[in-house]
Structure 1
Amino acid sequence: MTAGPYLFEDYPLPDGFKLPASYLELLAKGLPEIDPWWWLAPYKDRANYWAATLRQQFPSRSLVPFAKHGGSDDVACFDGSDMSGDPKVLYIHAFCSPGWELRGDAENFQKWLQNTEIEAAEFQAGDED
């Protein structure tokens, strides 16, 4: 685990891409538990692994991964081609043939987080049965 959140300081992000302010604010406050997802920011090696793996597998896409689903090969990524400062979040399925990787999207990080928190609450409730 790194000392603080890893923001790809030594991994090249797409030119002109900025991490969304809502994501940076959450990092500053502390990341919530989102099981079955887990955050990449606390783990430099894992963050770099997923960034490099997705770049190699899907070179036509510009992806900035930030969370991984624990029960699948799905990775939540910012759309690195979106220079708005509030990029779409893409659900990317790793280790599939190019063209089949996009599993869905969310309008932005805030929307993704809302959906993921609902999923995490349902996941936790299912564990209590």
Structure 2
Amino acid sequence: MTTEEALKKYKGLQDRYPCRQLFPFACRQDCDDVACWEREADEAVKIIHDFASPGWEDSGEYPDLWAWFRDAIDETIQWE
């Protein structure tokens, strides 16, 4: 995401999920999933299904950035 896209997504996530402190850094092109860091989650990468009802937004989690990155590369290869 560009800085502008990330800021727009950040504001939207804050509006939709005000009880969470999510910091988006990547999003999928084929659905509403957003990769985020969460303030209280240490190094974990949270996958948030944006626009889901509050409480239903968690779509997955990776233990760290590298685990997420490996999976993102594999999915990109399959998608192409």
TM-score by length of 1: 0.59
Q: Give the number of the structure whose alpha-carbon radius of gyration is greater.
A: 1
Matched with 1:116 is 72
| Inter-partner Cα distance in structure 1 for 2:3 and 2:63 | 26
Matched with 1:56 is 15
Question: Are 1:102 and 2:58 an aligned pair?
Answer: yes
Distance apart, 1:45 and its partner CA: 1.3
SS at the partner of 1:46? helix
Amino acid in the other structure paired with 1:73: D
> More strand per residue: 1 or 2?
2
Q: Give the RMSD, CA atoms, in angstroms.
A: 1.0
**Percent of pairs identical after alignment?**
31
Matched with 2:39 is 80
Structure 2, unpaired ranges of 5+: none
| Inter-partner Cα distance in structure 2 for 1:72 and 1:80 | 24
Structure 1, unpaired ranges of 5+: 1-39, 125-129
- Give the count of matched residue pairs: 80
Distance apart, 1:88 and its partner CA: 0.5
Distance apart, 1:90 and its partner CA: 0.6
| Inter-partner Cα distance in structure 1 for 2:64 and 2:37 | 8
SS at the partner of 1:111? helix
Distance apart, 1:81 and its partner CA: 1.8
TM-score by length of 2: 0.93
Q: Of the two structures, which has the highest relative contact order with CA contacts closer than 8 Å and spacing of 6 or more?
A: 1
